Structure 1
């Protein structure tokens, strides 16, 4: 690139910064003004308006000031958000440019692409285009030559005559170069080669073509993004949220979107991506939180993390039995059993009889059947019964009043009540009528009620009921053992989704029609029935599901032998996008992890590094070796180092031993799903590491005793694939069979005596 062109680009950058500075100064002044105004309103409310002793006029004045304060707070939020966006532009105004000549135009237009738009206030013309703008899509989808984009006025065709990328730091142009590709490998390698930070990075300046197509897909109501570890699935999902909020900003607000995260650590990890893209306050929750709200917070729900910790800590026989129970209760076969149970309950609920008050017919069985099967057929069973019960009570009400008057008249004639007050006689009349009606009211309260948990208990406790709804299908031995937790007010992990489904179908789903887009991360840990519950609860929503079948920690998926997630979720009418390139790990770590699976079909960006290191040592020297590897990684300048164990119990042991050694950085123990993701040395179990990434990963125990069972291969793969630059596997004992079977050229083996 010649110096004159470089100077011209720096001059344009200076022009952009001049506009940013002017807008920043104006915006900061406006925010200060709003802040001062709100402080004045608050001061006047506290000092001038003594509410407790105020007259009507003063109260009206105070009410007006409160309204002003509320309006000011809303406006202050808007202005403060604009200020944050301008400050983000100040950090890095743009990262790319295309010159596009539209068909019929005499010349090309230079289109600078950044995280947010910047308008020239004098002309109203864009100096920088938001990456989500329709015209910006060409930056990701096309090289030089013919190109097109679809905007509000239709499809615009033309030619890209220049494509350029920039590196900007401290308001100075560091480098720029022209290329035909979407993202030049040099920029991509530079971005991927950085240390991991405490929060997940945005990928807006390195979005690849296949990722861009997934992000901007707004035709498909249910999109499944499937890809290998490190392929950017989560980033794509979050960028898709930002894109939707930008494109449909007139009708879509952050509160209309819901992101399901596997745990609070992961939520914290991804929390900075959307604010960096200009979108904030998008709600996030875990499936456990959703489930507990589903049950009106009346039950505790065992988390996936707690379930896995118990599972991985059990002996092989106990583990296998619970795996079978959980896998069965997540299967389509068991859903068919539940559907048969729902039909049976519906049939029994429809077995009505005439309802009398004394000799007076309140509602015939035929009328109840008509209401149940016709008028209220659109409702779930429980709500139909409640409607019928309400109608019966409506008919009963005037008859009850008439009966009260008659009984009261009779009491007034009784000698026993002579001299009593009218109130005493009325109380006696109420008591007598209540006793008369007690059998009827008890019947209405019991017969016209369906309790899902009671029926679920019966399913496992009554062999006759099981045979009626399951036929010849046999449940795994001990399948009802988890019901013991219900007596303690807790729902076991394997029973959560079946009970939610049963409750939703029989009693009604807690519909949330205001949610218009749902993102489900780590969807490989969901059973099909879980997604059925979600789609029934959020019927108006579009869905973005992201995951990787090879990283599943769900027993049903383990036992399904499915190679692709769309096989598991075939009934959801999904459009699938596959991301086949991994951007996280070096080529050496990627090849090692891929070989663990027996080949994943994915590719990797050509970024090289050190081969994974396997250290065999005596059990008593394990922690000392781990500490040595931590020190070596700290000397390399790594900011994020993870010591990954199989269980939380092992985390506590390793963490305690590491704290007694002289480490440069105090390690952080992360064993609860509500923990906070932060920089430094983390000691955490594999099931909390899933979805995260680290500069260096140390597998604390890669022995056959720790990773020897068939399902352990997935766990080991998940743990190893967290590493960006360095991967160490410490083996205090016999090496895991999954490592022994790997080709020798994929790893370096070392025997350590201390």
Structure 2
């Protein structure tokens, strides 16, 4: 909405409430207009009608008015007209900034989408650089009702810059339910990443509470706004570490009006086979090593057999002979081009048929493309192709590598040591391990599935998407990075993670290394060091671990000071009862509570909670006002946040991992899940770094 400044009414809050009511009415009218569309006379057939109706249904969903979600959260009063020549004395314009665009019956905007260029100063304007904004107004809401506002006069040098209380309240608002968007609280350094272009890949290193996950999701929403047609054709995908995490974040994009973005785990991407087995850590590390890509490449190419016999093609009453050396040259040329195995196999019969056509032309005939296609489909050529370039089943190929020592040794020679080969073999003399007889009966592990995905791509190109967001990226193996990279070879990516939170044996050591495996070595690495969610006392306590788990990594500097937010208690009697008591104390406050513990202690704590009559949720399940407590195994805590966290027995969290460094990283994750308060309960001595 545009209009004169300053506010003409004596009661600005009443005026803003009236604008909110009018905007909601306009949004309902926009939805009613779409619902009333009659497409019976504008579609040529039922296919077009179905497609158009699906698009209309999506538009209706996108125009839903969420009663507890503010339609707008800010207002910008520009000093001059926007997008026009600024005549002397011309009045500025006023824009309400919200989650979606809303216009009135005349088409005039009442709410501007936060992603529009005119909205950018809401996040970037400052006293030093007001960006032609005279006033920035923030709104406060309670249950969807507008209850407060707060003004910043950016062009007034006499008014000192102050921290926004409404902004601080929104950041600290208790968390009940799934993850919320941060569209009203995006900070300038976050906004720069959110609005970075589609053409480049961005890697965001961010410590706990810096908002890296939200930044990644809001970047998707921005890119869909700025490049909707392109991404509608190519697709977008958000990749998270596990199903619990994906469930936690699944409402963010729909709240911003984006309904079509798919979500998956890396395991979902490579689900070519049923995973029923598990690897020991040492085997998983070797299978996840980038060197396995070359082993697989060699194994795939080994199926090619250069011909030693000529080929005879019968065409009508004539016979055409292709000598062995010419067939060998054709096959060798395809090998030297190093194109995908399946593409080369598809090209081979046409190459052979072309050689036949050359002879036919030399003999005075005039064959055309139809003759070449017929020769390529002929029995003799098909038999030759099968002998030279037989089909390869990716799962069967990986099965041979893992089950046949001689086959693995032949293709891993000079790449994997003998000990590494023995580590990943399923069949070892005297080991008791037995290889599966078929790919269907094999007990595949997650690492095996990634190898099969690599082999699949060597045979046939993986479809590339327009943009991929990869969260908690620090935990991926090099082969998993390659699997993700295949999904965005012609697109871009947003990589999110924290090197200090890497808790897998193969966790990446540097982003440069990870981006190389991803195929995006040119990506820009941005670091977020300002923390907005975790209190300063809590992050400082957890950061005592950084010198041991991530030397040289910058400590998060939290903007939130919350005295009393950290409590460390030593319990000499019943530790589980003490943890339950701490949960009861936390339940006296508003917001969500997470009881985090070593995986091995979850059954003990579950029993203690039940005996105390406390109902609890599993990670990923949506909290409600009546059930706000979640029992969280430490292995699933990454990426989740709770208003109050009770951490049970830190030493058990460390001991639950294969080595101390990984255990300390797991502990760092658990310590930094709290938004308002952290209570640490321990019976055994704390790790040395925390004492």
TM tier relative to shorter chain: 0.7 to 0.9
- Matched with 2:424 is 480
Say which of 282, 292, 306 aligns to 2:261: 282
Question: Does 2:452 match 1:508?
Answer: no
Aligned partner of residue 555 in structure 1, secondary structure: coil
Distance 2:353 2:397 in 1: 26
State the Cα RMSD in Å. Answer: 3.9
- Matched with 1:686 is 634
- Matched with 1:627 is 580
Distance 1:276 1:471, change over 3 A: same
Distance 1:69 1:504, change over 3 A: closer
- Matched with 2:53 is 73
Distance 1:368 1:677 in 2: 63
- Matched with 2:409 is 466
Mapped contact 1:98–1:139 kept (Cα < 8 A): no
Distance 2:411 2:338 in 1: 26
Count, aligned residues: 621
Aligned partner of residue 270 in structure 2, secondary structure: helix
Mapped contact 1:641–1:697 kept (Cα < 8 A): yes
Say which of 133, 138, 146 aligns to 1:160: 133
Worse-matched range after superposition: 259-268 or 169-178: 169-178
Task: Provide TM-score, normalisation by structure 2.
Answer: 0.79
Distance 1:207 1:349 in 2: 55
Residue 267 of structure 1 deviates from its aligned partner by 1.3
Question: Does 2:523 match 1:574?
Answer: yes
Aligned partner of residue 577 in structure 2, secondary structure: helix
Mapped contact 1:202–1:276 kept (Cα < 8 A): yes
Worse-matched range after superposition: 461-470 or 356-365: 356-365
Residue 725 of structure 1 deviates from its aligned partner by 1.6
Residue 444 of structure 1 deviates from its aligned partner by 3.0
Question: Does 2:39 match 1:17?
Answer: no
Mapped contact 1:522–1:547 kept (Cα < 8 A): yes
Residue 691 of structure 1 deviates from its aligned partner by 0.4
Question: Does 2:552 match 1:601?
Answer: no
Q: Would you tell me which structure has more helix in proportion to its own residues?
A: 1
Distance 2:30 2:634 in 1: 46
Distance 1:721 1:145, change over 3 A: closer
- The structure number with the bigger radius of gyration is 1
Question: Does 2:309 match 1:354?
Answer: yes
Distance 2:296 2:265 in 1: 29
Aligned partner of residue 667 in structure 2, secondary structure: helix
Distance 1:90 1:731 in 2: 40
- Matched with 2:118 is 135
Residue 131 of structure 1 deviates from its aligned partner by 1.0
Distance 1:182 1:462 in 2: 70
Mapped contact 2:77–2:92 kept (Cα < 8 A): no
Aligned partner of residue 257 in structure 2, secondary structure: coil
Residue 618 of structure 1 deviates from its aligned partner by 4.5
Worse-matched range after superposition: 699-708 or 214-223: 699-708
Distance 2:229 2:313 in 1: 60
Distance 1:553 1:367, change over 3 A: farther
Distance 1:482 1:237 in 2: 40
Aligned partner of residue 684 in structure 1, secondary structure: strand
Distance 1:225 1:385, change over 3 A: same
Say which of 325, 335, 348 aligns to 1:366: 325
Residue 227 of structure 1 deviates from its aligned partner by 0.3
Question: Does 2:102 match 1:118?
Answer: yes
Q: Deviations over 1:16-36 (max 9, x none)?
A: 2353254245346546656xx
Aligned partner of residue 352 in structure 1, secondary structure: coil
Residue 101 of structure 1 deviates from its aligned partner by 2.9
Distance 2:162 2:623 in 1: 30
Distance 1:689 1:7, change over 3 A: farther
Question: Does 2:559 match 1:610?
Answer: no
Distance 2:397 2:68 in 1: 58
Residue 568 of structure 1 deviates from its aligned partner by 3.3
- Matched with 2:681 is 730
Q: Deviations over 1:356-399 (max 9, x none)?
A: 57998875433433433446846312442354368889999xxx
Mapped contact 1:595–1:742 kept (Cα < 8 A): yes
Mapped contact 1:116–1:278 kept (Cα < 8 A): yes
Distance 1:471 1:33, change over 3 A: closer
Residue 340 of structure 1 deviates from its aligned partner by 5.6
Distance 1:567 1:290 in 2: 22
Q: Deviations over 1:455-477 (max 9, x none)?
A: 54555643686376442752447
Q: Gapped runs of 5+ residues in structure 1?
A: 42-60, 149-158, 311-321, 397-436, 744-754
Distance 1:574 1:697, change over 3 A: same
Distance 1:235 1:96 in 2: 22
Question: Does 2:679 match 1:696?
Answer: no
Mapped contact 1:115–1:131 kept (Cα < 8 A): yes
Mapped contact 2:266–2:484 kept (Cα < 8 A): no
Task: Provide TM-score, normalisation by structure 1.
Answer: 0.73
